[in-house]
């Protein structure tokens, strides 16, 4: 099957290609050789994790070698804990020991953890070397590998230190998704559903029609879903590169409640996508009460999430505890909790919601 190519064109940045398809990693080296900004790279550092390296590092390095590109590699323990300054420091030191200089580039081979970490390390080592993303989870293909946010976590919170640095190239080889478990698959589907609801009628009704096939990982549907998400995210990022114009905030649909669920249930209890899906169900109901979101949208979205393996969560916390967690989120402004709500498919609004209104809806949610 021919690969799909999406060009991401962010003002003030070198445009970059996102290649999506079965087996695109095989032609990776040849593609990098002709990518603007990578002409003078003399060595690539492939950063990976302990799950991904045994599966795909060899193929990645072979693809580089086939194009006469030199590479070295570092693997970090799989999991969110590797997104830390301590691990970043180990990588910076290892890069120096390996003799890497400004003519090096960093390839992130893995999910969003590796992508954010490699992006951060690459964008700071020697004041910044080029970054290439080779995402291997559905979530990283549809979301984190595009848009240029890099970072690590602090004890004080997630993603509190980082940079905005666009990658030079993104290689999303959908054949790597074969080894992803059901939980990680559904997690990525949550972000796909989020994008579809806030993007357009066209994407949403396409996804509703193909949700069963996406859940079954039907190749052409998977590829199209990723491409649609990348096109959507690229447009949002192009309009608001550094999240300073309020446009990028729409990507937070489902995340206000979602983040609180992840935090209060203990990170890892539910996948990020499952928590976001619950947040979408809540935000759409809030929208129905506050901005006239059609009930058909609420119901169609519920069915879509069910089909994608993201059923309503049986977990609840006390409403005041939930409200408190939402107020502590770093995206809160002036103590007011903000929700992205769909006025309709593809039309969204950001609303500051008063505490008593949130509590009333959380009470209904806790009883559901
Ligand atoms: P992840 O990177 O932890 O990957 C999930 C798990 O799948 C890990 O255990 C990983 O080792 C494993 N894995 C990866 N690829 C695999 C494959 N092909 N086969 C089998 N196992 C595989 O998690 P994620 O969901 O990909 O990303 C989450 C991270 O992304 C979070 O840290 C989040 O903050 C970040 N993120 C960043 C952005 C951004 O814009 N930069 C956007 C969304 C999320
Ligand atoms: Mg998210």
The number of the ligand 1 atom at minimal distance from the alpha carbon of 119 is: 41
Cα distance between residue 190 and residue 305, in whole Å: 7
46, 87, 139, best to mutate for ligand 1 pocket (most atoms within 8 Å of CB): 139
The per-residue pLDDT for range 139-176, each reduced to its tens digit, is 999 999 999 999 999 998 899 999 999 999 999 999 99
The per-residue pLDDT for range 204-252, each reduced to its tens digit, is 999 999 999 999 999 999 999 999 999 999 999 999 999 888 899 999 9
Instruction: Please give the full DSSP string across 58-72, using - where no structure is assigned.
Output: HHHHHHHHHTT--EE
The residues annotated with a catalytic role in the active site are 127, 149, 191, 233, 243, 248, 252, 255, 259, 272
Closest ligand to 84 CA? 1
Q: Other C-beta atoms within 10 Å of 117: how many?
A: 27
Q: Are 51 and 78 in contact (CB under 8 A)?
A: yes
The number of the ligand 1 atom at minimal distance from the alpha carbon of 114 is: 2
| Distance in Å, CA 191 to ligand 2 centroid | 6
Binding region for Zn(2+): 191, 255, 272
Choice between 333 and 103, residue whose per-residue pLDDT is larger? 103
Q: Residue 304 is encoded by which pair of tokens?
A: 């879509």
Q: Which of 4-8, 195-199, 279-283, 362-366 has the lowest mean pLDDT?
A: 362-366
The number of the ligand 1 atom at minimal distance from the alpha carbon of 179 is: 19
Q: Coil, strand, or helix at residue 245?
A: coil
The residue whose CA has the least distance to atom 39 of ligand 1 is: 144
Closest ligand to 251 CA? 2
| Distance in Å, CA 45 to ligand 2 centroid | 27
Q: Are 64 and 28 in contact (CB under 8 A)?
A: yes
113, 175, 192, 250, best to mutate for ligand 1 pocket (most atoms within 8 Å of CB): 113
What is the predicted pLDDT for the residue at 366?
83
| Distance in Å, CA 141 to ligand 2 centroid | 12
Q: Residue 203 is encoded by which pair of tokens?
A: 């994407």
Using a pLDDT cut of 90, give the percent of the chain over it. Answer: 94
The H-or-E segment that residue 108 falls in is strand 104-110
The verdict on ipTM greater than 0.90 is: yes
| Distance in Å, CA 351 to ligand 1 centroid | 30
Residues lining ligand 1, Cβ inside 6 A = 49, 51-52, 55, 78-80, 83, 110-114, 116, 136-137, 139-140, 143-144, 147, 149, 158-159, 176-177, 179-180, 184, 187
Average pLDDT, the chain: 96
Query: Per-residue confidence at 60, pLDDT binned at 50, 70, 90?
Result: very high
């Amino acid at each position: 099957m021919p690969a799909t190519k999406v060009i991401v064109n962010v003002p003030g940045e070198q445009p970059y290609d996102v290649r999506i398809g079965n087996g695109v990693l095989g032609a990776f080296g040849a593609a990098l050789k002709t990518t603007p900004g990578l002409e003078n790279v003399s060595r690539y550092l492939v950063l990976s994790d302990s799950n991904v390296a045994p599966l795909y590092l060899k193929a990645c390095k072979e693809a580089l070698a086939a194009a006469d590109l030199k590479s070295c590699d570092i693997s970090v323990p799989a999991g969110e804990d590797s997104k830390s300054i301590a691990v970043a420091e180990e990588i910076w030191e290892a890069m120096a020991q390996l003799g890497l200089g400004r003519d090096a580039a960093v390839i992130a081979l893995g999910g969003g953890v590796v992508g954010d970490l490699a992006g951060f390390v690459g964008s700071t080592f020697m004041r910044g070397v080029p970054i290439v993303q080779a995402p291997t989870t559905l979530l990283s293909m549809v979301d984190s590998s595009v848009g240029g946010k890099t970072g690590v976590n602090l004890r004080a919170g997630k993603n509190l230190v980082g940079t905005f640095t666009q990658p030079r190239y993104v290689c999303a080889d959908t054949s790597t998704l074969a080894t992803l478990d059901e939980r990680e698959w559904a997690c990525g589907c949550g972000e796909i559903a989020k994008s579809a609801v806030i993007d357009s009628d066209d994407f949403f009704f396409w996804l509703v029609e193909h949700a069963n096939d996406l859940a079954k990982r039907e190749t052409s549907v998977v590829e199209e879903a990723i491409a649609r998400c990348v096109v959507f995210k690229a447009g949002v990022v192009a309009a608001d590169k550094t999240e300073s114009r309020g446009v990028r905030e729409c990507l937070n649909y489902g995340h206000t409640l979602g983040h609180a669920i992840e935090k209060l249930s203990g990170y890892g209890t539910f996948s990020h996508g499952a928590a976001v899906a619950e947040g979408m169900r809540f935000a759409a109901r809030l929208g129905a009460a506050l901005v006239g979101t059609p009930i058909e949208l609420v119901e169609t979205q519920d069915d879509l999430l069910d089909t994608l393996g993201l059923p309503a969560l049986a977990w609840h916390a006390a409403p005041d505890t939930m409200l408190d967690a939402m107020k502590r989120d770093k995206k809160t402004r002036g103590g007011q909790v903000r929700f992205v709500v769909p006025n309709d498919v593809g039309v969204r609004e950001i609303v500051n919601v008063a505490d008593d209104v949130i509590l009333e809806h959380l009470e209904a949610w806790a009883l559901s």
